[in-house]
Amino acid sequence: MEIDDFDMEEFGLSRNYFLAKESRSSSSKKSVNKLSDIEVLNEKELEAAVANIEPKHQKEISALKDSYKSSYSEWVFKLRCGFGLLFYGFGSKRALIEDFASTSLTEYSVVVVNGYLQSVNIKQVVACIAEVLWDSLNPRRKIPRENMSILQQPLSSQSMEDHFAFLDGSWTEENDCFVGVVIHNIDGPGLRDSETQQCLAQLAACSNVRIIASTDHVNSPLLWDKKMVNTQFNWYWLHTPTFEPYKIEGMSFPLILEHGNTNQSAKTATIVLQSLTTNAQSVFRVVAEHQLSHPDEEGIPISSLYTACRERFLVSSQVTLNSHLTEFKDHELVKIRKNSDGADCLYIPLPKEALEKLLSEIN
């Protein structure tokens, strides 16, 4: 029966996962090699090389994208039925969605939101969508005179609630008038907080709006509760892997080798430390010097650090020291682990060379 198939499938997946874990944990050997053993290129060289990478399988990727074109009319039908389209699968879906919107949604206005950018302002986006709807309704005089009061103020000065009320209004007799809102990476860093997602859900629930979004995070369904999924976004999931590189979407993220580079880590730590007070820098120096002189220990115990800092007149009380330590921990400059006596020890998560470089720079 179907129920059995379904459960067996789920069971099989989880079983395989645990079996794999078991087999790996027993057979795997710990490697002592470090990334620093690789002669990692500098940042500029790496970025230049990345820019020159010749993409693989361009022909096949192009054919894959073309194969989705036959589904465009079906996707439009789903939008007209009141669903929001949610594209997922490996590869950048930016070009695919924009091509779909440009070729198949010409009857409707389309606004594009780049959710992968940190600086997205949801209020501005909603105002922009309201403005676009207003423009598409106004020339046809579709807004009844008695409802004009809602839009007597300029759109930009209205509240979000006013915009939502306008976007949800029934301005036309036929319910085939909507603004398509393309959201690249609805799970992007600029849109990921719950308030923004609530706003987007409210936007999606408006009768004159249809959302066409893409998602890449494997945990993206956790962003939404059942109300948002079932009654507001009303998602129609579409699995559309494209295997296209995330060139634009990944622009604001560092490259992994560049990120893991010792120089890069030291540089980041230096920038943070330079923004702190001289006393804080000196406290950090005490931790670093202890780590360099006692490489085999777990780190400096907090009590020893306090004594050392008091001797050097860097802190006057435990409270002051704690405030410095909080600052360090927030910026991940230091971490805590326990030594053999069970005491909390502070250590700096940087290799010796990077630490030396860092000390020389803050000196």
Partner 1 sequence: MSFSAIKVEGSALRSSMKEMVRFSCKGAVLNFWFQGEAQAFLCVVDLLVTMFILYLFIPPMQTHFVLHRASSGNHDRKSARMKMDNASPADYTGLNSECKDGLWQQLQREAFEIVWSKIENTFKAVLKNINGDAFNEIHSWVLESFQAIRSLGSISSSFEAIRPFPIAIDAASKCLHAGLVLTRNIEFVDDLMTFEDLAENLRSRGCHVANLSSLEFSYDNGTSGCIRSLLRQFLSSPVDAVDMSILSSWYFAQGNRDAPVVVILNDLERCCGHVLSDFIIMLSEWIVKIPVILIIGVATTLDVPGEMLHFNALQCLRMCKFILQSPMERMNAVVEAVLVKNCSGFSISHKVAVFLKNYFTNHDGTLSSLIRALKIACAQHFSTEPLSCMLKVFDEQESFHGEKCGFLHEVISACDRAILSSMGKMDEEGIQDMVSTLIELKKMQDRWSVVVLCLYEAAKCRQVNLLDLLCEALDPDLLSSGRIGCHKTSIKGRAMYCAIQNVRELPEVMVVNLVKSWEKHAIAIPEIHGKVKDLQYNLKFENGRRRKEDLPVIKRTNQNHLNALGGSRAFNETAANFLECLINDFMQPLECMPSHEIVCYKNVEKLKAALAGDPRRQIQVDLLGSCRILQCSCCSGDGGTLRPSMQDTSIMYILSQEHGDLINLYDWYQCFKLILQPLGKVNQKTKQNQGKKDNNEDEELSEVAIQSRGSCGCKAKGDRIICSGWHMDSDKVMTSPVTLGDFSTD
93 or 324: CB nearest partner 1: 93
Count other C-beta atoms under 10 Å from residue 67's C-beta: 10
Q: Using the rule CB under 8 A, which residue among 196, 197, 208, 234 binds partner 1?
A: 234
49 belongs to the binding site for partner 1 (CB under 8 A) = yes
Task: Pull the structure tokens for residue 243.
Answer: 């295997």
- 216 belongs to the binding site for partner 1 (CB under 8 A): yes
Q: Looking only at residues 124 through 163 of this chain, which bind partner 1 when binding is defined by CB under 8 A? A: 124-125, 128, 132, 135-136, 159, 161-162
DSSP H or E run through 182 = strand 179-184
Which range binds partner 1 by CB under 8 A, 106-114, 269-277, 288-296, 352-360? Answer: 106-114
Question: 309-313 contacts: CB < 8 A, separation 24 or more?
Answer: 309/282, 309/283, 312/282, 312/286
Distance CA 293, CA 279 (A): 21
Residues 326-355 interacting with partner 1 (rule: CB under 8 A): 349
Q: Which residue is it, tokens 């290129």?
A: 41
Q: C-beta of 326: minimal distance to partner 1 in Å?
A: 20
Residue 165 to residue 171: CA distance in whole angstroms? 11
> Shortest distance, CB of residue 332 to partner 1, whole angstroms?
10
Does position 219 bind partner 1 by CB under 8 A?
yes
Q: Which of 11, 12, 15, 17 binds partner 1 (CB under 8 A)?
A: 17
Q: For 264, phi and psi rounded to 5 degrees?
A: -65, -45
Q: Where does this chain touch partner 1 (CB under 8 A) — which range of 225-233, 291-299, 301-309, 319-327?
A: 225-233
**Buried/exposed code over 117-139 (b: 16+ C-beta within 10 A; e: otherwise):** beebebeebbbbbbbbbbebbee
Per CB under 8 A, contacts with partner 1 among 165-184 are: 174, 176-177, 182
246 binds partner 1 (CB under 8 A): yes
Q: In the block, which residue shows the tokens 């990692």?
A: 40
**Rounded Cα distance, 334 and 347, in Å:** 5
In the complex, minimum distance from the CB of residue 62 to partner 1, in angstroms, rounded to a whole number: 10
Per CB under 8 A, the list member of 8, 50, 271, 336 interacting with partner 1 is: 50
Site residues for partner 1, 268-297, by CB under 8 A, read none
Q: Token pair of 303, please?
A: 């009590």
Which listed residue (8, 81, 271, 336) binds partner 1 by CB under 8 A? 81
Q: How far is the CB of 303 from partner 1 (least distance, A)?
A: 25
* Tokens (6 digits) for 56: 């693989």
Which range of residues in 12-20, 289-297, 298-306, 338-346 is near partner 1 by CB under 8 A?
12-20
- The reply on whether position 253 binds partner 1 by CB under 8 A is yes
- Residues between 19 and 38 with contacts to partner 1, criterion CB under 8 A: 20-21, 24-25, 28, 30-31, 33-38
| Structure tokens given for 242 | 């494209």
Taking a C-beta distance cutoff of 8 angstroms, is the pair 348, 304 a contact?
no
